[in-house]
A and B are shown apart, each in its own frame.
Chain A
Amino acid sequence: MCGIAGLIHKGKTVNIGKELQDMLQALKHRGPDSTGYALYGEGNRDNYIMRFKVGENVKEGSSAVNEDKSVYDSRKKQVDKHIRDLGADILKDEQLTPYSFRYIVKYDKDLMEFSKKVESVKMTEILSLGKSLELVKDIGDANTVSKQYGLDKIKGTHAIGHSRMATETGVDIRSAHPFWGYPFSDVSVVHNGQLTNYWNNRRALENKGMRFMSECDSELIAVYIASKMRSGASLKDGMQDSLKELDGVFTYLVATKDSLGMAKDTMAAKPMVLYESDDLVAMGSEEIAIRTLLPQEIDTHDPYDGEVKVWQI
């Protein structure tokens, strides 16, 4: 199981962090291991927001290897050096936990080169890179992660999130959703289901220069969509191709700077409930997630098999 949720406000900025937190907390029973948020905030028009980690959360329940915390500081220094070597400027530097950071970076060259350099530092992973995306994921339920990172105050237009029940990979941040659509700025993916042709697709994408940070099958969708967009496909076209090329049962959500998409496999084996109105679209693995936003009686429906939908802000 796993729970996914998403919402998009059209032409309006709201307290998106708190809204997604409530939706994901309602889905806690579907996945209590870790929770992730991809929040599209008011952002920074000129510079990149980079969220990254240099280690893992090793609290109770984690499957990550414990490390001496002193290594985090040296890794951060190496990251800083690489960023400067790339000709980028760190305009703002925030430490959120001993192992995770949020930077504002001035940079105008190739993001793939940038990411490769930063991620060459041991255990370092860029969780997100974009001008409005704030991607946060950690071990614990939605309330725990939100409190840890102060997400309930983030304002924005749209968001997707995930509550994870770890099945085939460990309980750690690198296997948690959402996944950043490396190397595209502001692209994120959450997924509920299983992919059965993961390794074939992964090898093909790695041969094209795409990177994988985990062995979680869901990461494949993010990399796959990013690869499609890199070759010129629109978000919707890339998602439609995925229905033919990705095997398995899945419902997934993709968000970009100004849009949010949903795709359901051809067997319709994974749930999704959808609410659409003129100014708000909300969706979740279960209706109770939507009910946290709209407790009054509303009209909802299940998207059908093989359905792809994309909404703009």
Chain B
Amino acid sequence: MANLKQVKDSKAKSMGLHKEVLRGRTQQVFFNPEEAENFFYYGSHNVDFNKRTEVDAKDLTCKELNDKINSLMKDGYGTVVVKNPQGKHSLGVGILNKLNLIFEGSLGYFGVGSIDGPVVRITGRVGWSCAENMMAGKVVIEKNAGSCFGAAIRGGDLICKGSVGARTGIDMKGGTIIVGGDAGAFTGFMMQRGRIIILGNTGINLGDSMYDGTIFVGGKIKSLGSDAIKSKLTSQDVDWLKRKLKVAEIGSNINVSKITKIVAGKKLWNYDQLEPTEKKGAI
């Protein structure tokens, strides 16, 4: 297993991330390959990406569709195309499996929330709280997204080719959010880890009360929130942005070196430096 302490000191630290080693109750527990056999996900299935099927969601409730997707994974289907989602809520949630999932149309609120592993493509728009609590995987939305896009995500790539609403990436704890268009007010509100890339403009109070993480903005910033400050874009940031945008197939016309980098000023308080009893006092 790689020496994670060493990795943090060299690469991540130089990019302005994870500057301090976590301790106390916020200490991260890292995956140990030697214990892999002890890891088991309830409801995970072996699927074949070449085994493809289509489901029409027109007359299905969200529970019926989600149950259907689960049973298809159980039968080994690795590629599922959902037709006529018609803006229904909570579709494609709780998928803890590798899966190639395609929605031909738009989703309502809480679409593909709490997922861990699937690659999802949505040809339409998504409502509020898309991919909330996502752990891993990739979600690509071809049109716009509503507010609270990627709320509290912990990992994976969440890409919206259009514009997103307010509070994008609120409370996010990891992963990457990429937005091709504009973002609303309070983007990155209270984010704790991870990275947000907005290629268009942002609304008021960008990065308000953020603890950590990085926000990259290609357009204009209406205003910064409390404790969000501008930081110098490093060559490593530029390399990472180029690579990430290329993989996301977005922003090919963007001059990455002109992107603005926003980080936490850490003046409100440094959460990780406080003991639990002190945190209570600070709040």
Interface size on B, residues (CB 8 A): 29
B105: Cβ under 8 A from any A Cβ: yes
Please name all residues of chain B whose beta carbon is closer than 8 Å to the beta carbon of A287 when the two chains form the complex.
87, 106, 108, 125, 127
Q: A297-B106, A301-B163 in contact; A273/B127 too (CB < 8 A)?
A: yes
Whether the pair B147, A271 counts as a contact (CB closer than 8 A) is yes
Whether the pair A268, B163 counts as a contact (CB closer than 8 A) is no
B124: Cβ under 8 A from any A Cβ: yes
A18: Cβ under 8 A from any B Cβ: no
B77: Cβ under 8 A from any A Cβ: no
Mark the stretch among A109-117, A131-139, A288-296 that contacts chain B: A288-296
Please name all residues of chain B whose beta carbon is closer than 8 Å to the beta carbon of A89 when the two chains form the complex.
none
- Pick the residue among B87, B88, B106, B166 that contacts A305 (CB under 8 A): B166
Whether the pair A297, B144 counts as a contact (CB closer than 8 A) is no
| CB-based A-B contact count at 8 angstroms | 72
Nearest-neighbour CB distance to chain B for A223, whole angstroms, equals: 28
Q: A266-B185, A268-B185, A288-B87 in contact; A301/B125 too (CB < 8 A)?
A: yes
Please name all residues of chain A whose beta carbon is closer than 8 Å to the beta carbon of B182 when the two chains form the complex.
304
- B237-253 contacts to A, CB under 8 A, are none
Whether the pair A267, B185 counts as a contact (CB closer than 8 A) is yes
Whether the pair A304, B87 counts as a contact (CB closer than 8 A) is no
> What is the CA–CA distance of A286 and B128 in the complex, to the nearest angstrom?
9
> What is the CA–CA distance of A288 and B186 in the complex, to the nearest angstrom?
26
Whether the pair A305, B127 counts as a contact (CB closer than 8 A) is no
Please name all residues of chain B whose beta carbon is closer than 8 Å to the beta carbon of A271 when the two chains form the complex.
127-128, 146-147
Please name all residues of chain A whose beta carbon is closer than 8 Å to the beta carbon of B167 when the two chains form the complex.
268
Q: Report B's interface with A, CB cutoff 8 A.
A: 84, 86-89, 105-106, 108-109, 123-125, 127-128, 143-144, 146-147, 162-163, 165-167, 182, 184-186, 203-204
- 8 pairs of residues in contact across A and B, judged by CB atoms under 8 Å: A267-B185, A269-B166, A271-B147, A273-B127, A288-B89, A291-B87, A299-B144, A301-B162
Q: Report A's interface with B, CB cutoff 8 A.
A: 266-269, 271, 273, 286-288, 290-291, 295, 297-302, 304-305
